[in-house]
Copies of this chain bind each other. A is one copy, B any other.
Amino acid sequence: MAELMNRQIVLRRRPSGLVQPDDTELITTPAPEPAEGEALVRTTYIGIDAAARTWLNDQPGYLPPVQLGEVVRAAGIGEVVASRCDAYAVGDVVTTLTGFQEYVISRDDLFTTPVPGPAVDQLAVMSVYGPTGATAYFGVNDIGKPQPGETVVVSAAAGATGSIAGQIAKIAGARVVGIAGGPQKCRAVVEDFGFDACIDYREDNLKAALKQHCPKGVDVYFDNVGGPILDAVLGRLAPKARVVLCGVISSYLTGEHPGPANYVNLLSKTASMQGFNALDEWGRFDEAFGPLRQWAQEGRLVHRQTIFEGIESCVDALNGLFTGANIGKMLVKVSEPSVAG
């Protein structure tokens, strides 16, 4: 049998802004043999998240920066093709830190979660009842805590997390207003994801639009972007508002984070702003997956994907996150799932 080869994208130079051709290299190496306690996973889909871009900067975060020569880190899904680990059997579907590569070694650790079978809808796992959905679920329910009739605003509302977060807030009985860039995304936010309204931050006067769509103020803001959009929403907070900080995509490329001057409204409105990382809730993910799976199956939680094809498209997909290329979850399809969900 021919040796199993593994195409990997490794970091060669730290990017500044969008990832440039010389910043990474596509290399081919023999797929690793699993040692005792390890399993070999064939990547099916790689999830493209903004976090992956932050890991390329030489900055401390909740995970260490990717070092030069290392495979670009990313969360994905795949199938176990060889196992010397009691936790996984050949054929299991697992979500894990696949990285930008076709095969990855997984262990029985925090970052690897088997997905119960037999038939696994891998797109739904990547979009709804996996880490992305858990992020939306815990951010909305643990921190945002929307009440029936309250107004919830979600930025990057057409994106992977925002689209799910807004739908969860709708299920909780809130009025949900999205913010997204461009008419196509705004249409998807309202028509596909069922938000009550969507503000186009490229076309609309954000302050006026927030006043129009949130006449009583914003009770919950689920923020994926930071920067001037965060500042504008802080300027429209309702008393006792809760701001969920889930991402700062506006500054991931530049590393610059202009401070939101309207933070003082946290004081005048006795509001709160809470940073949030779903990794902290890893042990509670099952708590989220139950309702998420049910809502998806009932058709109350819609998910969409933007899918790039082949390992060689990973960098384009990553850059696309920052140029607004995706509606729903951005994925790279690396190999065919053996069982469709």
Contact = CB atoms under 8 A, between A and B. Distances in A.
Among A261, A263, A264, A269, max chain B CB count under 10 A is at A263
A61 B277 CA distance: 33
Contacts of A99: none
A190 interface: no
A333 to B, nearest CB: 30
Contact of A268 (B264, B265, B275): B275
Nearest to A279: B270
Contact of A264 (B248, B261, B277): B248
B275 A248 contact: no
Interface string A99-114: 0000000000000000
A246 B273 CA distance: 14
A260 B261 CA distance: 7
Interface residues of A, number: 32
A260 B259 CA distance: 4
Interface string A55-95: 00000011000000000000000000000000000000000
Contacts of A280: 270
A257 B248 contact: no
A264 B265 CA distance: 17
A268 B226 contact: no
A272 interface: yes
Contacts of A276: 267, 270
B267 A245 contact: yes
Interface string A256-294: 111111111111111111111100100000000000000
Contacts of A25: none
A271 B280 CA distance: 12
- Counting chain B CB atoms within 10 Å of each CB, the highest count among A259, A274, A277 belongs to A259
A263 B264 contact: no
A251 interface: yes
A311 to B, nearest CB: 29
Contacts of A269: 275
A258 B261 contact: yes
A247 B271 CA distance: 13
Closest 3 CB pairs of A and B: A259-B259, A266-B275, A267-B275
Given A259-B261, A263-B273, 6 more contacts: A62-B268, A245-B266, A246-B267, A259-B263, A260-B260, A267-B275
17 contacts: A61-B268, A247-B267, A248-B264, A258-B259, A259-B261, A259-B263, A263-B273, A266-B273, A267-B276, A267-B277, A268-B275, A269-B275, A271-B274, A271-B275, A272-B272, A272-B273, A273-B273
Interface of A: 61-62, 226, 231, 245-248, 251, 256-277, 280
